Amino acid sequence: MAILIKDEDLSAAQLTENELRLEIAVLLYQKARFSLGKASRFAGMNRILFQKELGKRKIPVNYESDDLNEDLESLGITTEPNDNLNRLCL
């Protein structure tokens, strides 16, 4: 799905395309519609920069299990269930 926003509408809102993407990402993150990783990718930022932006806005970072699994996966670490606990396997 694509949404077309006229340049004049962006100008009226005094936003660039990147700023609008960031605003949407922050809003969807606040409403728990996007995870931290999804929101940062949508905004075109790495997670650290997105977290800093959230901090500037005094928006708490909700680090969910999905975020942890995504981070572990990017590090090449898998988890295996063990008596209702996850054990890290390198």
pLDDT at 83: 45
Burial of 48 (0-12, 13-18, 19+ CB in 10 A): exposed
pTM greater than 0.85: no
- CA proximity to 24, closest of 6, 10, 12: 10
pLDDT at 20: 96
> Which residues of the chain register pLDDT less than 70?
79-90
Report yes or no: 71 and 44 within 8 Å, Cβ to Cβ: no
Is the backbone of residue 80 left (phi > 0), alpha (psi -120 to 50) or beta? beta
Rounded CA gap, 47 and 53, in Å?
10
| Location of structure tokens 């700023």 | 19
- CA proximity to 18, closest of 38, 44, 40: 44
